[in-house]
Amino acid sequence: MRKTIVIALGGNAIKQADESGTAEEQFKNVQTTCRQLASMLMYGHRLVITHGNGPQAGNLLLQQEAGKEEVPPQPFDIVGAMTQGQIGYMFQQTLQNFLWEQRTPLPVISVVNQVLVSEDDPDYQDPSKPVGPFYTKEEAEKIKAERPEYVIKEVKPPSVEKRFRRVVASPDPIRNIEYLAIRKMVQTGIVVIASGGGGVPVVMDEKGCFRGTAAVIDKDKAGQRLAAVVGADVFMVLTDVDHAKVNFGTPEERDIGCATYSEMVKYAEEGHFKAGSMGPKVEACLRFIKWGGTLAIITSLDKAIGALIGQTGTRIVPDPVC
């Protein structure tokens, strides 16, 4: 049965934690992902793709700061738009090439996409969105001493050596601004890459006009908003692990296979999903099911097809199905 699937891809899946972030490395990772995406299109599904940009935006911000004596640095919203173009281009070109090889001439388009947020969002007071590279405790302390304005938090369990990252404000997405255009493109069979990096964050002034704001929106939560406006059947979060887990990083760790909405809410309330890591992914999936979606999936890039047909991954369904 033909389905409309929104796929949210992590920025860390495009640039791995142990990579420097060269164009060659990122294109190689994108090729791995696009093989999976092209297979889904061969099954006749409609695809909408969104992606993170944390590593890319963080690196670009470092470049901005390093070159500020020569070139004026750009604000967060412009950096978001720049990385939307960068990553969208890589996916657009690579997926087009795979589809051409398979003699499946589907049109693929990447759009620069704005997402509305509120200036009163509490995350501006307590930033939570990781950007840029991972650091050891020693590296994080050194960077904090050099740049005291940075907020650096532990985003992975103590068992992981490089578990610290810079965090910035990540306000909750309210509305996808270009949703009508995106919806029309999806309905005509175009593969759309949208809301990249969570979308360019904008606020609305008293005259109803938009302007950028200094933030990075969580791509999973923005992806859920995107899934709702295109009427998706499936919302799939592809990350660097096969499953969401309970008791992550402990001897009692175990994978979550199929779970109902209520079961996942209970796990979340018990604190099994870390903020800035698995927490937003689970929250986005729960929002999708609550909105009316039939299936939300969390799994790794290389297990996407298997998870879609029920062989692996964390699959979240409405109450009661499992």
Q: How far apart are CA 36 and CA 13, in angstroms?
A: 13
Tell whether 254 is covered by a domain: yes
Quick check: 317 pLDDT over 80? Answer: yes
With beta carbons less than 8 A apart as the criterion, state whether 229 and 287 touch: no
Q: 7 forms bridges with which residues in the sheet?
A: 49, 236
Task: Provide the number of structural domains found in the chain.
Answer: 1
Tell whether 155 is covered by a domain: no
- Least Cα distance to 219 among 278, 166, 280 occurs for 280
Q: Which two tokens stand for residue 315?
A: 């699959």
Tell whether 157 is covered by a domain: no
Give tens-digit pLDDT for 16-72: 767 888 999 999 989 888 888 888 887 788 999 999 887 888 888 888 878 888 999
Tell whether 164 is covered by a domain: no
DSSP state string for 187-219: HTT-EEE-SGGG-EEEEE-TTS-EEE-S----H
Quick check: 11 pLDDT over 80? Answer: no
Q: Which amino acid, one-letter code, is at 166?
A: R
Q: What is the DSSP letter of 250?
A: S
Identify the pLDDT of residue 129. 80
- Cα-based angle 53, 137, 163 (whole degrees, multiple of 5): 40
What's the rounded mean pLDDT across residues 247-274?
A: 93
In angstroms, what CA-CA distances link 5 with 2, 192, 233, 279, 300?
9, 11, 6, 21, 16
Least confident of 28-42, 204-218, 272-286: 28-42
Catalytic residue flag (residue 266): no
Catalytic residue flag (residue 303): no
Identify the pLDDT of residue 105. 82
pLDDT bucket at 12, cuts 50 / 70 / 90:
low
pTM of the model: 0.87
Least confident of 48-62, 212-226, 285-299: 48-62
Tell whether 32 is covered by a domain: yes
In angstroms, what CA-CA distances link 2 with 41, 138, 188, 317?
10, 50, 14, 19
Give tens-digit pLDDT for 119-163: 999 999 988 887 777 889 999 999 899 888 888 999 888 888 998
Identify the pLDDT of residue 276. 67
Catalytic residue flag (residue 219): yes
Of 15, 156, 221, 281, the catalytic one is 281
Of 10, 52, 196, 219, the catalytic one is 219
Catalytic residue flag (residue 153): no
Of 11, 52, 88, 198, the catalytic one is 11
Between 54 and 307, the more confident residue is 307
Alpha-carbon dihedral angle through residues 31, 58, 175, 128, given to the nearest 10 degrees: 120
Identify the pLDDT of residue 6. 97
**Domain hosting residue 243, numbered range:** 4-54+63-117+172-317
What's the rounded mean pLDDT across residues 100-108?
A: 89
Q: How far apart are CA 322 and CA 261, in angstroms?
A: 10
- Write down how long the chain is: 322
Say which CATH number the domain at 181 has. 3.40.1160.10
Least confident of 182-196, 218-232, 308-322: 308-322
With beta carbons less than 8 A apart as the criterion, state whether 278 and 9 touch: no
Tell whether 163 is covered by a domain: no
Catalytic residue flag (residue 11): yes
Identify the pLDDT of residue 316. 97
Tell whether 162 is covered by a domain: no
pLDDT bucket at 321, cuts 50 / 70 / 90:
low
Tell whether 151 is covered by a domain: no
For the packed helices 76-101 and 23-42, what is the interaxial angle rounded to 10 degrees?
50
